[in-house]
Amino acid sequence: MARPRSAKPARLYSIQIVSRATGLSADTLRMWERRYGYPAPVRDARGNRVYSDADIERLLQVKRALQAGARPHDVVDRPPAELARMLERVAVAQTQAPEDRGSLTPLLDALARSDAAALRVELRKAAYSLGPRRFVTEVAAPFTTAIGTEWAASRIDVNAEHLASNMLSAQLDVLLASFDDSGAPIVLMATLPGERHTLGLLMAAVFLATEGVSVRYLGADLPAEQMLRAADRTQAAVIALSLSAAADLQAARRDLQWMLDTMPRHRELWVGGAASRNLDLRHPRFRALPDWDDLTLALSRLRGKK
């Protein structure tokens, strides 16, 4: 009689590997665990959190739901079957809606093929033909939205999403580096601790640079006290931040309120991104800027004070 095969032990992954696989920061995963009870990792022999393949798949479902417009408190602790039904409804609605891909067609076609070289070429062509400002508003921002739509409808996978984000970030970096930073006012740009989504911040940085603003781009995951020190050193008129849909709003409000209470009266605090509408902060030097018109108006008002 053949000896029965023993079941293979389930593969387990560290929080760093799960963060890379899903695009969700380790801080976000820990915060969701505290607040919503999910993810609920087991602990290895050293006491470190470890996650299963099922956890990764469910977290990818959560991220798709967030990109489709859901709020974290509505989806993080939902069972996988409910998440699957929600995403199915989103996919049906999107496939039934008329598609207006327009100038995004070459980018989306290259993305569907995971053709990195073609995607790089198409992004470069669009940037050079439209110029930095129109590239941001007419290509980069709509393309970012389209990436989320394609993922929510399961037409692309996480690898394609990462490819598109990396390629777009690289093109925005090139555009931002082409500007002289000796203009005025000076705007310092970063994200709060745990916030690693920088595409929106990069787009806003390029947009402001086209307005003659001197952008000091510090990137992701910067403690609030370090932002204030950097703003003091550079004599920045504004600290501008970006909050994605997956942001910890409670922690963000706490940091933002502390910054407003601490920084000098001549400095303003601007926040954009998907979660900026939900901050509900009341302060004369705080601006929530969810779209390009809001950003232009805030800049105009700032210059009018001079």
Q: What is the CATH number of the domain that holds 78?
A: 1.10.1660.10
Query: Does 4 map to a domain?
Result: no
The phi and psi torsions of 39 (rounded to 5 degrees) equal -65, 160
| CA–CA separation, 176 and 189 (whole Å) | 12
* CATH number of the structural domain spanning residue 147: 1.10.1240.10
Whether the pLDDT of residue 89 is over 70: the answer is no
Q: What is the mean pLDDT of residues 162-170?
A: 92
CA 41 to CA 50: how far, in whole Å? 5
| Mean pLDDT (the chain, rounded) | 86
For residue 168, which phi and psi values (nearest 5 degrees)?
Answer: -65, -40
Could you tell me the CATH number of the domain that includes residue 219? 3.40.50.280
Total number of domains in the chain: 3
Q: ω into residue 185 within 30 of 0, thus cis? A: yes
- Point out the domain boundary residue: 71, 92, 113: 92
Same domain flag for 107 and 169? yes
Looking up tokens 């915060």 gives 31
The pLDDT of residue 21 is 85
Cα angle 200, 196, 296 (rounded to 5 degrees) comes to 20
Higher-confidence position of 148 and 208 = 208
pTM score, two decimals?
Answer: 0.74
> Rounded to the nearest 10 degrees, how much is the dihedral formed by the CA atoms of 292, 298, 300, 301?
160
Positions of E strands within 67-177 = none
Reference 147, options 184, 114, 190, 194; nearest CA is 114
pLDDT grade for 96, boundaries at 50, 70 and 90:
very low
Q: Are residues 117 and 85 in the same domain?
A: no
Q: Looking at the domain assignment, is residue 277 inside a domain?
A: yes
DSSP assigned state of 8: P
Same domain? 290 vs 198:
yes
CA-nearest of 227, 254, 222 to 238 is 227
Q: Are residues 268 and 163 in the same domain?
A: no
172 with 203: CB under 8 angstroms?
yes
Same domain, 205 and 252: yes
State the residue range of the domain holding 245: 186-304
304: confidence class by pLDDT, cuts 50, 70, 90:
confident
At 115, give phi and psi (nearest 5°). -95, 95
5, pLDDT greater than 60: no
CB 25, CB 195: distance < 8 Å: yes
Mark which of 152, 177, 202 sits at the end of a domain.
Answer: 177
Instruction: Residue 186: name the closest of 231, 120, 237 by CA.
Output: 237
Tell me, yes or no, whether 113 and 84 share the same domain.
no
**For range 239-265, the mean pLDDT:** 89
Assigned domain for 295 exists: yes
| pLDDT score for 235 | 94
95 or 75: which leads in pLDDT: 75
- In this structure, the answer to whether residues 269 and 208 fall within a common structural domain is yes
Residue 293 sits in the same domain as residue 227: yes
Q: In sequence order, which residues have a C-beta less than 8 Å from that of residue 179 and are 6 or more positions away? A: 132, 209, 210, 215
pLDDT given for residue 234 in this prediction: 93
- The CA distance from 152 to 87, in Å, is 6
Q: Which of 70, 92, 114 is the last residue of a domain?
A: 92
Q: Is the pLDDT of residue 217 over 90?
A: yes
Which pLDDT does position 214 carry in this prediction?
94
Distance between CA atoms of residues 125 and 131, nearest Å: 10
